[in-house]
């Protein structure tokens, strides 16, 4: 059975002005997501700025999220690393804390061969029993999981169950799903490709847009899951201008600005990320109005 179907939010992490985690606001954001139909929560991913957290802080945020959600929706913990030993350690802790699954990104900077990816993810899979979703985002990591590698991993390890596909290469995704013959749970990693990915057999999206529009993102996925791709396509088209604005600067810079616009104290970003440029913020504000999120 799939970990989730529909829209999972890649949730942002609110910070206080001193840079510490604002747990009160994080809890409010979690409740907002669940109250507005999000289907799962991915904590400490790229959008959550996990790359700037110490291992201890990273896992404190994961544990807080799991405890706050209280099984209302699945919680998927981002536990990937470019160090296999670290990925194993974080994944084991996430399982101990009660995560429903983990999201493991490809090793970044040092990267890996396809054989190295098989060994890396295999080490994590052997260390835990909960499901693993692979995260393929070559634009950020410089490392691409090829279709044959993804299929091999899902066939060799019972708990490697799916992939968050943020390659933006539909032909590669199509080839992977053809080879998979149903052994991979596919999720879009790009908010502007929800419908195309789901038309290839995808089960949903792990979404940045859901931070500010959880109900609307859920609805795009729901229409796809119902087989009404015409209706889903119209909802996708409506969201495209806002999605473009949410990625006008590197994620999560714009979405934290967007969260502030709808009333959340998202706080500052941690360096090397900086506040959104004013011209881009104004475009974002206009698209938030056009989408009906603010007045």
CB 91 within 8 A of CB 102: yes
User: Residue 120 corresponds to which tokens in the numbers above?
Assistant: 């890396």
Separation CA 159–CA 154 (nearest Å): 8
- The single residue of 164, 187, 256, 291 carrying the catalytic annotation is 164
Question: What are the structural domains, with CATH classification, of the chain?
Answer: 6-228 (3.20.20.70)
Write the pLDDT tens digit of every residue in 115-150. Answer: 999 999 999 999 999 999 999 999 999 999 999 999
Q: Assess whether 164 carries a catalytic annotation.
A: yes
pLDDT (tens digit per residue) in 199-258: 999 999 999 999 999 999 999 999 999 999 999 999 999 999 999 999 999 999 999 999
**pLDDT for residue 72 is more than 90:** yes
Residue 58 Cα to chain centre, angstroms: 16
Among residues 5, 68, 135, 187, which one is catalytic?
Answer: 135
The 10s digit of each residue's pLDDT in 260-283 is 999 999 999 999 999 999 999 999
Angle between helices 84-97 and 114-127 (to 10 degrees): 30
């Amino acid at each position: 059975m799939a970990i989730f179907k529909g829209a999972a939010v890649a949730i942002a992490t609110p910070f206080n002005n001193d840079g510490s985690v604002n747990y009160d606001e994080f809890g409010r954001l979690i409740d907002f997501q669940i109250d507005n139909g999000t289907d799962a929560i991915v904590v400490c991913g790229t959008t959550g700025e996990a790359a700037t957290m110490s291992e201890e802080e990273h896992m404190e945020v994961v544990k807080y999220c799991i405890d706050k959600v209280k099984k209302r929706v699945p919680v998927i913990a981002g536990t990937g690393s470019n160090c296999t030993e670290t990925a194993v350690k974080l994944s084991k802790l996430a399982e101990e804390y009660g995560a429903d699954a983990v999201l493991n990104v490809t090793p970044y900077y040092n990267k890996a061969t396809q054989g190295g990816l098989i060994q890396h993810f295999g080490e994590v899979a052997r260390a835990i029993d909960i499901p693993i979703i692979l995260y393929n985002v070559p634009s950020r990591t410089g490392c691409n999981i090829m279709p044959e590698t993804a299929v091999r991993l899902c066939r060799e390890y019972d708990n490697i169950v799916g992939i968050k596909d943020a390659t933006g290469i539909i032909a590669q995704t199509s080839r992977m799903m053809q080879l998979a013959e149903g052994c991979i749970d596919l999720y879009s990693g790009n908010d502007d490709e929800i419908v195309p990915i789901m038309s290839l057999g995808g089960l949903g999206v792990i979404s940045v847009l859901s931070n500010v529009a959880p109900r609307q993102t859920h609805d795009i996925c729901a229409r796809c899951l119902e087989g009404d791709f015409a209706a889903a396509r119209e909802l996708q088209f409506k969201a495209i201008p806002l999605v473009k604005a949410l990625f006008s600067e590197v994620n999560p810079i714009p979405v934290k600005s967007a969260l502030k616009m709808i009333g959340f104290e998202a706080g500052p970003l941690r360096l090397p990320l900086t506040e959104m440029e004013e011209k881009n913020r104004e475009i974002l504000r206009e698209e938030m109005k056009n989408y009906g999120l603010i007045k």
